[in-house]
Chains A and B, each alone.
Chain A
Amino acid sequence: MHTNLLLSVPVRYWQDFQDTLARATNANIYIFDANGAPFSRFSLPAELCREVNKGRELHNEKCIDFYKLACGSLEEKDMLTCPYGLKLCAYRLGSHAQRIGYLMVAPSRHTTLVEREEEIAFITKAHNIYRTINEVFSAILEKNLLGLRRLELNSIYEISRLMTSIVELDRVLELITNSLIIIYQADLCFVGLREGDKIRVAQGKGVHGSQLIGKEWPLVHPLIERIFSKVEPSSLSIEELKVLPGFTGTEAAPGTEIMVYPLWTALGIVGLLGIAAPASLGDNGSKNLQIYINFAAVALANATLIRRLEREAETDYLTGFLNKRVLRDVLAAELQRAARYGYHLSVIFLDIDDFKAYNDTFGHLAGDVVLQKTAELIKNSIRTTDIACRYGGEEFIIILPGTKGGDAAKVAERIRKSIETYPFPHRRITASLGVAQAKKDDSVESLLARADQACYQAKEQGKNHLYLEPS
């Protein structure tokens, strides 16, 4: 958030007010923002100021440096003398917690205020000006802050409604990071999800956000342990975060803090959420953000659980391959794609030879080991773009997009050899493989039936064979 955002006042209206006040009190008024940069023009500049700055705005280098330094070192109020000998009263506007700017009051004509009485009168006048201006700024700030809180609450209400109705994890992550960056104008926002014994960054937005995606932080890392040792957020500097992968090369201005919220639900740790600490948050703002974070934790927990259930429903537990249930959908999609873009598609049907006898002789646990190892050998023999499924029992299907029957046969032969030569426990294991290339107007059923038939032919040839269906 911009330092001066909440003090967003139309300068042209403010200048009118400031000039009227200056005329009424016969004093020069000058206001600087929280960074010490000029906010308005001199109201009633002493001749000397106008002369050295050539007008009502600050141009003189000496003056600019003087005011910058004065603002930077000012505690609450002070009596200062400018480089040209003009005495002025300086005040900090706002509070210690929320510094909103600085006020300089100087006599409207050049005077060194040598007379004690004259000095006391001027200080009293300056103090009255300060009280008036501070009151006005506080009122503006309060009004703007209320507007921001209302915006936050409305947004949280809308988002909480939406989050409880969305179950897709990617959309929930997108919604959380987008809305936090928008509402709080955060420079950085990221969400890490718990995956076993580590936190994996699933989404990152803002400055350097994309660099964090995919980075893994072990739960036993001292910094991560520190974050999860309490329910409240941890305020961490970039220097502290640099011990985590993804933050290593990041540099930020001193004082940049990241609030890292542990995400908990009744089920335990869901993950963590980091946000570049929004300025001007205050007590109510912190509570609003915490409410939002609590909703986010529940929405992420739900979406994560649903994604896990979906994955489990699609995956064969033993081999990690897709199961028969989703095979039809995947193959139908690949057939459509092949037809649309005019590329080849082949399917390998693999059956482990005499698996029933192996199971009956050496037991189901030994049989499971064979299935797992066969799956691993298949996985090692295919491309990442190929899709392997466990069709049932000891049967596997491998879908090879963009592959002609002849090339698929080479892959099948590679698989057959790797199974044949692998030292399985108890005895040698072999497999029969049938290969079929998709034809125009093939359906899932017709293609699978032809691949099955080709596998049958391979068995007929004496097992441990592959058979390529003639095109």
Chain B
Amino acid sequence: MSEIIEKRIGRYETLLREMWAASSKYLGTFSVNLLVERVVWEVSLEYKEIELLQFDQNGISCAKMAARLEENPDLPVEDMFMKFITRYVEILARLLGYERAEEIKKKLDEEFAGDPFVSRGDERWRG
């Protein structure tokens, strides 16, 4: 695998693994697996390639995604991962409450300074 691709995918893989570990601590692996499956399905409506993300009870791997990126360097992995992470954290916030989700968001912010990962929830609700 070329160094550039490894770099492009590697940072996301690290991030996803951190997210996986942090959310498993609170939700358990079954719920985290379900959450990943849900978000993969949702993002796959726009980016079919997200289905190359491998996940099971043991964690997440981007190996297949990296191989595809080698074949097609134009793959919009950044957009795809940003969408995945944003949706993941949005649902996570509902499950854990915004305080705990904020802790996880902080970790993400450290990794990706300035990227707005978490929205403040559903505007339909107040009070």
Contact A253 B124 (CB under 8 A): yes
A252 contacts the other chain (CB 8 A): yes
Contact A251 B45 (CB under 8 A): no
Contact A183 B38 (CB under 8 A): yes
Contact B34 A187 (CB under 8 A): no
B95 partner residues in chain A, CB cutoff 8 A? 178, 181-182, 205-206
Contact B91 A183 (CB under 8 A): no
Contact B46 A206 (CB under 8 A): no
Contact B127 A208 (CB under 8 A): yes
Contact A10 B31 (CB under 8 A): no
A250 partner residues in chain B, CB cutoff 8 A? 125, 127
Q: Which of A144, A148, A155 is within 8 Å of B34, CB to CB?
A: A155
**Given A182-B38, A183-B38, A250-B127: A162 touches B30 (CB 8 Å cut-off):** yes
Measured CA separation A179–B97 after assembly (Å): 15
**Residue among A186, A207, A253 facing the most chain B CB atoms (10 A cut-off):** A207
A5 contacts the other chain (CB 8 A): yes
Residue of chain A at shortest CB distance from B46: A10
Question: B12-49, CB under 8 A of A: which get 1 and which 0?
Answer: 00000000000000011011001101100110111100
Q: Which of B28, B35, B45, B123 is within 8 Å of A182, CB to CB?
A: B35
Number of interface residues of A (CB under 8 A): 35
A171 partner residues in chain B, CB cutoff 8 A? 28
Measured CA separation A5–B91 after assembly (Å): 14
- A-B pair count, CB < 8 Å, reads 80
Contact B34 A179 (CB under 8 A): yes
A148 partner residues in chain B, CB cutoff 8 A? 41
A210 contacts the other chain (CB 8 A): yes
Contact A8 B97 (CB under 8 A): no
A256 contacts the other chain (CB 8 A): yes
Measured CA separation A175–B28 after assembly (Å): 9
Measured CA separation A409–B93 after assembly (Å): 50
Contact A185 B91 (CB under 8 A): yes
Measured CA separation A207–B122 after assembly (Å): 8
B44 partner residues in chain A, CB cutoff 8 A? 147
Contact A187 B127 (CB under 8 A): no
Contact B31 A151 (CB under 8 A): no
Measured CA separation A181–B121 after assembly (Å): 13
A174 contacts the other chain (CB 8 A): yes
B126 partner residues in chain A, CB cutoff 8 A? 251-252
Contact A252 B124 (CB under 8 A): yes
Contact B94 A207 (CB under 8 A): yes
Contact B37 A249 (CB under 8 A): no
Measured CA separation A186–B125 after assembly (Å): 12
**Given A8-B42, A8-B45, A182-B31: A207 touches B125 (CB 8 Å cut-off):** yes
Question: B76-114, CB under 8 A of A: which get 1 and which 0?
Answer: 000000000000000100110100000000000000000
Residue of chain B at shortest CB distance from A188: B125
Measured between C-beta atoms, what is the minimum distance from B37 to chain A in Å? 7
A10 partner residues in chain B, CB cutoff 8 A? 46-47
Contact A151 B41 (CB under 8 A): yes
B37 partner residues in chain A, CB cutoff 8 A? 151, 154-155
Measured between C-beta atoms, what is the minimum distance from A212 to chain B in Å? 13
A207 partner residues in chain B, CB cutoff 8 A? 94, 121-122, 125
A175 partner residues in chain B, CB cutoff 8 A? 28, 30-31
**Residue among A178, A181, A186, A252 facing the most chain B CB atoms (10 A cut-off):** A178
Contact B94 A206 (CB under 8 A): yes
A9 contacts the other chain (CB 8 A): yes
A151 partner residues in chain B, CB cutoff 8 A? 37-38, 41
B47 partner residues in chain A, CB cutoff 8 A? 10
Q: Which of A9, A158, A178, A183 is within 8 Å of B45, CB to CB?
A: A9
Residue of chain A at shortest CB distance from B33: A158
Measured between C-beta atoms, what is the minimum distance from A205 to chain B in Å? 6
Measured between C-beta atoms, what is the minimum distance from A213 to chain B in Å? 11
Residue of chain A at shortest CB distance from B36: A182
Contact B34 A182 (CB under 8 A): yes
Measured between C-beta atoms, what is the minimum distance from B121 to chain A in Å? 6
A183 partner residues in chain B, CB cutoff 8 A? 34, 38
Contact A249 B122 (CB under 8 A): no
Contact A205 B125 (CB under 8 A): no
Measured CA separation A249–B45 after assembly (Å): 38
Contact B127 A210 (CB under 8 A): no
Contact B31 A178 (CB under 8 A): yes
B122 partner residues in chain A, CB cutoff 8 A? 187, 207
Measured between C-beta atoms, what is the minimum distance from B58 to chain A in Å? 16
Residue of chain A at shortest CB distance from B90: A185
Measured CA separation A171–B95 after assembly (Å): 14
Residue of chain A at shortest CB distance from B41: A151
B35 partner residues in chain A, CB cutoff 8 A? 182
Measured CA separation A144–B35 after assembly (Å): 18
| 10 A-B pairs whose Cβ atoms sit less than 8 Å apart in the complex | A8-B45, A151-B38, A155-B37, A178-B27, A185-B38, A205-B95, A207-B122, A250-B127, A252-B127, A253-B123
Q: A-contacting residues of B (Cβ < 8 Å)?
A: 27-28, 30-31, 34-35, 37-38, 41-42, 44-47, 91, 94-95, 97, 121-127
Q: B-contacting residues of A (Cβ < 8 Å)?
A: 5, 8-10, 144, 147-148, 151, 154-155, 158, 162, 171, 174-175, 178-179, 181-183, 185-188, 205-208, 210, 249-253, 256
What 7 A-B pairs have minimum CB-CB distances, sorted nearest first?
Answer: A8-B45, A251-B127, A253-B124, A207-B125, A178-B31, A251-B126, A206-B94
Other CB < 8 Å A-B pairs besides A9-B45, A9-B46, A181-B91, 6 of them?
A8-B42, A178-B27, A181-B95, A182-B95, A186-B94, A253-B125
